[in-house]
Structures are given as structure tokens and as C-alpha cells.
Amino acid sequence: MSRIHDALRKAAQQNPPAAKVSPPPPTRTSSVLGQGEPQVAVPGSAEAPAAAPSRSSVASSVVDPLVVMVDPEDLYHLDEIIKSARQAPYDPLGSALLVNPAKPREAPAEEFRSLRTRLNHLQTMQPLHTLVVTSGSPAEGKSFTASNLAIAQSQLADKRVLLADFDFRRPSVDKTFRLPSSPGITDYLQGKARLADLFTKIGDTNLYVITAGGPVANPLELLNLKESAALIQALGEHFDWVILDSPPLLFAADANLLATICDGSILVVRIGHTTFDSVTRAMQSLCENNILGVVVNGARRGELYSKYAYYHDYYYDAETGSSESETGEQEAVSVDSVE
């Protein structure tokens, strides 16, 4: 027995027990949770992988394609900016079919004045300053309606009217009024132009125009910016009417978004072109409580006025003092559905 104790004592003297040291926690190098087995590496060693970047550093390294540099101070000086807007002569494109202010008794002018009267009546009953004019499909006359309605509203002495081209995909207001396309709304929202560079006053009228601006690859994302909604709201506070031309409802979501920002919407349909299915789908895509009515475009004067057409054909020439009766058919609009 003594020999056994001597052997154990000798072995303890030659191999002392090592101190108990807790191993360092393993380091996970997998940056995606649940993908692969975690690898363990000793911190500070040459083969230790670099630590995964923090969430904040990753977020700061992502470059947003929409770099917005809008100066919010411009909106506080909007009234001064409007008063100092540059002027351009009223020289519209002949093929744009705009109403002629020199012939106010022509049939299309009468229909747009009728539309103007109904909208102004609605304005007395509810807050209504910003208006989206759109259609279900292209080539139904939304830009034609928006431009002529803006002209009709601007003929009232106490109304200050703005026509803004929010159709960033296929803008047309600049071509209609023969204005430069830039600077425009897209340039302002991207910080390429100041707000004072956007406004153009048409002749001696109360009509102001803002063009769409330069082409952009992401028009819907640009409209989703809070700066876009703030711009529309500010314009509605400084103009009696802000009329927005927008893309068709069934081909882009831009008009749907604009309808949620503006006070009301008007849907334009064209006789012989718009189908019942497209009208139904377009109405469903809009907020039901935001639709003010429907404008029917493309009616013939004989179909629209029947035997009462002579009230619109007959007009008085103030310059010559003579009366004339126009003949021939011409496209007109019907606004019977606007309520």
C-alpha cells in the first residue's frame, strides 16, 4: 500500500494540475442567420475572419438613387415666387385644339365653361382646390380636357389658376403651350432647379403653367416622396385651382397616388374609344369618395346639341359688328356626368 501512495505522490510532483481557465466564446462569422454552421476562430489570430459590419454601417453604405435636395424655404416664399414668375405669350400648338378666347361662344368653349361652373359650385360646398384629370387609357383626351379647363378657369378675373404637368412618363403641356420642358417638376424634386424656376405666366391671363421637367427612370418613386405631396399642398394654398395632368389609370399607378393627395379627380372617357370595362376598372382604381365626375369627350356637335345647336353656332363678332353662323362638325365635350 505504501508503494502505491509513493507512486501517486511522485506522479503529482512531476505533472501539477493545470489551472482551470474558461475558453473564450466562439465567434460567429456567418452573417446570415440560419445559413451554414458557425465557424469558431480565436480573436486576434492571423486566420480570424473580420467581424461582420454593424447594421448602421451597412445602411449608411447603401446609396439611394433618389437624392432629394429640395429647399423647404422655397415653399414659405411661394406667393412672392408666383408674383415674380416669368411670362410667355399665349401661342398654343394649333393641333392641341385649345379653345379660342377670341371666340368664347364656340361650342367647346361653352362646354368647358359649363364644367367650370359646376366645379366652382362644388368649391363653395367643400374644400376643393387641387384637381387630377386622368383617363383609363391613352388618347382619350385627358390633356386636352385639363388644358382647356385651366384656360376656362383663368378667364375669370378673380381666379388664379395653375396647370401642372404631373405626367412624367409622356408629358405634353410643354408642347401644347410651346414652352421648354425643363426646368420642371422632376428637376425641382431632384434638387436640380429651384421652385422659382418652374412657373410661367401665360400672356396677360391668370393662367400659370408648370411643365413636367426632364425624364426620370422612376416617376412613381419620385411622386411618393414627401416633398411631392408638400409641393401639391402648398400650391393648393396659393392658387384657386391647381389642375394636374396625370398618366392613364390602367397603365400606371401615378394617377392613383395623385388622387390620394389631391382634393378631387375627374375621369375623361372618349365616345367610340373607351370600353365599359375600362371605365369600370378605372373607377374602381380610384377612391370612390374622390371622384367628382366623368367628362365625355369626342361627341359631335350635331349629336350633342341636336336642334338647339344654333345657340352655339351663332355668335357675334365684336370687331366687325356682324353676326355669323358656323357650319361643319367639330369635336366637343359633354360634362353632364360631373356632379
314: which residues sit within 8 A by CB, 6+ positions away?
105, 323, 324, 325
Q: Which amino acid is at 260?
A: T
Sign of CA dihedral 327, 328, 333, 335: positive
Identify the pLDDT of residue 3. Answer: 53
- 42, part of any domain: no
- 58, part of any domain: no
Number of structural domains found in the chain: 1
- 35, part of any domain: no
Cis peptide before 138 (omega within 30 of 0): no
Cross-strand partners of 162: 208, 242
- 147, part of any domain: yes
Q: Do the beta carbons of residue 110 and residue 305 sit within 8 Å?
A: no
Q: What is the pTM of this model?
A: 0.71
Q: Do the beta carbons of residue 233 and residue 265 sit within 8 Å?
A: no
- 30, part of any domain: no
Q: Do the beta carbons of residue 279 and residue 272 sit within 8 Å?
A: no
Identify the pLDDT of residue 105. Answer: 67
Q: Which domain holds residue 105?
A: 73-334
Question: Exposure pattern of 59-83 as b/e (b: 16+ CB <10 Å)?
Answer: eeeeeeeeeeebeeebbeebeebbe
pLDDT tens column, 61-97:
333 455 555 666 677 788 899 999 999 998 888 888 8
Identify the pLDDT of residue 60. Answer: 37
pLDDT tens column, 106-115:
667 888 999 9
- 152, part of any domain: yes
- 2, part of any domain: no
Low-confidence ranges of the chain (pLDDT < 70): 1-73, 102, 104-107, 287-289, 300-339
Question: Rounded to an integer, what distance in angstroms lies between the CA atom of residue 198 and that of residue 211?
Answer: 7
- 245, part of any domain: yes
Task: List the CATH number of the domain containing 172.
Answer: 3.40.50.300
